[in-house]
Amino acid sequence: MADLVARVREVLPSVRKDLEDLVRIQSVWADPSRRDEVHRSAQFVADLFTGVGFDDVRIVSEGGAPAVIARHPAPPGAPTVLLYAHHDVQPEGDPAQWHSAPFEPTERDGRLYGRGTSDDKAGVATHLAAMRAFGGKPPVGVTVFVEGEEESGSPSLSRLLEVHKGLLAADVIVIADSDNWSTEIPSLTVSLRGLADCVVEVETLDHGLHSGMWGGVVPDAVSALVRLLASLHDDDGNVAVAGLHEGSAAEVDYTPERVRADTGLLEGVTEIGSGSVPQRLWAKPAITVIGIDTTSIAASSNTLIPRARAKVSMRIAPGGDATAHLEALRKHLEEHAPWGARVTVTPGDLGQPYAIDATGPVYDAARAAFRQAWGVDAVDTGVGGSIPFIAEFAKAFPEATILVTGVEDPNTQAHSINESLHLGVLERAATAETLLLQSLATD
Ligand code: BES
Ligand code: MN
Ligand code: MN
């Protein structure tokens, strides 16, 4: 085992180099003009696992983004482990706000900055490091599955799963796409929220009108839309949509100071909602407005705006059903339009929440591997984010044990500007995964 720890350390520089090259590929599936890049990143990932010695490496797609499936057959009597990550990334946002170019990986203070360094190209790097540490011959069966449209809600994942179910079957599924408690304390993620979103359009007028001639008599659509959006929360910031599920989160100490530090909440701005922080993040629904289409300020003229749209995103606590929650949201939006404004709701992505039973022999092995790799016990945590893959695969392979690990930490800034990976976390995560695979072979 000590040898394996040393092996991971030895292979890490080569893994880091490959991670940097992968980050240089702008694999933003959500941007139609960069779909070639997503094909390039799939090919790059496929080549990495071919390079490690896997014989069966394919790029598959079912009407959506390309995914990579790379397989190493199980030695007799050994279990098969599916290693998951995604090679697509979020759009980079405003490049001017990055301290270094988003697709040029740059190290500062032990962190590697760049879009996808953490979410989730570091997941690919973790699996690659483990495979290299074993010289391409892990002691268990390994199927690496690297998705290409996770950040777009995995729309073709269920078809991929249907078509390639035989290839993807596994006894244990390791998902390297989540957070850690800190850079020094690992997490095992035991619950994730689901997601449902929609676009709501509000119309009040047949056409724009001179705002002086008609303002004060007939409503503009933006004023109607913001009142409608305001109805989604009460004055304390609790979600005000009826019929949503609330569970109960583990009691974990999460101070207001930590919230402020982890989020960059501005001085004087308060938190919203009631209940402990873990309760609000992991076990209650949340609703956020993630985009608005209307006349820009630059294009504004004294005109009553006839129609406007917003994209509303809802997080669903484990135990709730995403389809039913989207229906509750739709109903609320249709019933709360002020002044009789016309409302059209167009449903968007759906992903089911998931709660994990983190007990049993695989979890015992994982906890031991994490303890050895990190020098401290892993904490079981929930996360507020979503990975639709999990509920889909849990349904397809009900006997498989699911482990959600990851390489993010509270300073990662996934989805935001200046995303980064803590390089020590990458090493510890790769070591833990390698040790876990070794112990799954012998248990
Ligand atoms: N890696 C995240 C999921 C995550 C977020 C894990 C926070 C741990 C903490 C994943 O890439 C992600 O961003 N998922 C999307 C899914 C959505 C598009 C259905 C999300 O949560 O917004
Ligand atoms: Mn991710
Ligand atoms: Mn993400």
Give the pLDDT confidence of 35-89 residue by residue, as tens digits: 999 999 999 999 999 999 999 999 999 999 999 999 999 999 999 999 999 999 9
Amino acid residing at 386: S
pLDDT grade for 304, boundaries at 50, 70 and 90:
very high
CATH of the domain at 222: 3.30.70.360
Average pLDDT over residues 399-420: 97
Q: Which helix (H) or strand (E) holds 257?
A: helix 256-263
User: What pLDDT digit, counting tens, does each position of 232-241 carry?
Assistant: 999 999 999 9
Whether residues 292 and 378 fall in one domain: no
Average pLDDT over residues 290-319: 98
Whether residues 181 and 300 fall in one domain: no
| Strand pairing class (106-108; 80-86) | unpaired
- pLDDT score, position 250: 86
Q: Is residue 265 part of a domain?
A: no
The Cα–Cα gap between 329 and 313 comes to 10
Q: Is residue 263 part of a domain?
A: no
Whether residues 338 and 366 fall in one domain: no
Whether residues 179 and 199 fall in one domain: no
Is 120 near ligand 1, meaning CB less than 6 Å away?
yes
Whether residues 205 and 337 fall in one domain: yes
Residue in this structure with the two tokens 């109607």, named with its chain if needed:
224
CA of 95 to the centre of ligand 1 (A): 22
For residue 349, give the ligand 1 atom closest to its CA: 19
Is 122 near ligand 1, meaning CB less than 6 Å away?
no
Whether residues 131 and 7 fall in one domain: yes
The Cα–Cα gap between 186 and 374 comes to 7
The Cα–Cα gap between 169 and 67 comes to 16
Whether residues 339 and 223 fall in one domain: yes
Whether residues 367 and 400 fall in one domain: yes
- pLDDT score, position 1: 67
The Cα–Cα gap between 84 and 145 comes to 5
Cβ-based burial of 48 (10 A; exposed 0-12, middle 13-18, buried ≥19): buried
For residue 154, give the ligand 1 atom closest to its CA: 19
Tell me which of 27, 115, 150, 416 to substitute to probe ligand 1's pocket, judged by most ligand atoms within 8 Å of the beta carbon: 150
Q: Is residue 423 part of a domain?
A: yes
Is 178 near ligand 1, meaning CB less than 6 Å away?
yes
Whether residues 340 and 390 fall in one domain: no
- pLDDT score, position 245: 98
Q: Is residue 266 part of a domain?
A: no
Residue 2 predicted with pLDDT over 80: no
Residue 279 predicted with pLDDT over 80: yes
Q: Is residue 268 part of a domain?
A: no
Q: Is residue 116 part of a domain?
A: yes
- Point out the domain boundary residue: 319, 334, 351: 351
Average pLDDT over residues 393-412: 97
Percent of the chain with pLDDT over 90: 98
Amino acid residing at 251: E
CATH of the domain at 410: 3.40.630.10
Which tokens is 258 given? Answer: 């930590």
- Point out the domain boundary residue: 321, 351, 381: 351
DSSP one-letter code for 96: G
Q: Is residue 260 part of a domain?
A: no
Q: Kindly write down the DSSP assignment for every residue of 274-335, as one continuous string.
A: SS-HHIIIIIS-EEEEEEEES--TTT--SEE--EEEEEEEEEE-TTS-HHHHHHHHHHHHHH
Residue 258 predicted with pLDDT over 70: yes
Residue in this structure with the two tokens 């409302």, named with its chain if needed:
343
Host domain of residue 115: 2-192+353-442
CA of 175 to the centre of ligand 1 (A): 12
Whether residues 157 and 117 fall in one domain: yes
pLDDT grade for 443, boundaries at 50, 70 and 90:
low
The residue nearest atom 1 of ligand 1, judged by CA position, is 177
Whether residues 296 and 359 fall in one domain: no
User: What pLDDT digit, counting tens, does each position of 427-442 carry?
Assistant: 999 999 999 999 999 8
Is 116 near ligand 1, meaning CB less than 6 Å away?
no
Helices (H) and strands (E) in the chain, counts: 13, 18
User: What pLDDT digit, counting tens, does each position of 182-208 carry?
Assistant: 999 999 999 999 999 999 999 999 999
Residue 171 predicted with pLDDT over 80: yes
Q: Is residue 267 part of a domain?
A: no
- Point out the domain boundary residue: 351, 377, 398: 351
Q: Between 2-23 and 423-442, two packed helices, what is the crossing angle to 10 degrees? A: 130
Is 123 near ligand 1, meaning CB less than 6 Å away?
no
- Nearest ligand atom owner, CA of 288: 1
Average pLDDT value over all residues in the chain? 97
The residue nearest atom 5 of ligand 1, judged by CA position, is 385
- pLDDT score, position 251: 86
Whether residues 204 and 62 fall in one domain: no
In the chain, the number of structural domains is: 2
Which tokens is 219 given? Answer: 């409503």
CA of 387 to the centre of ligand 2 (A): 7
User: What pLDDT digit, counting tens, does each position of 202-230 carry?
Assistant: 999 999 999 999 999 999 999 999 999 99
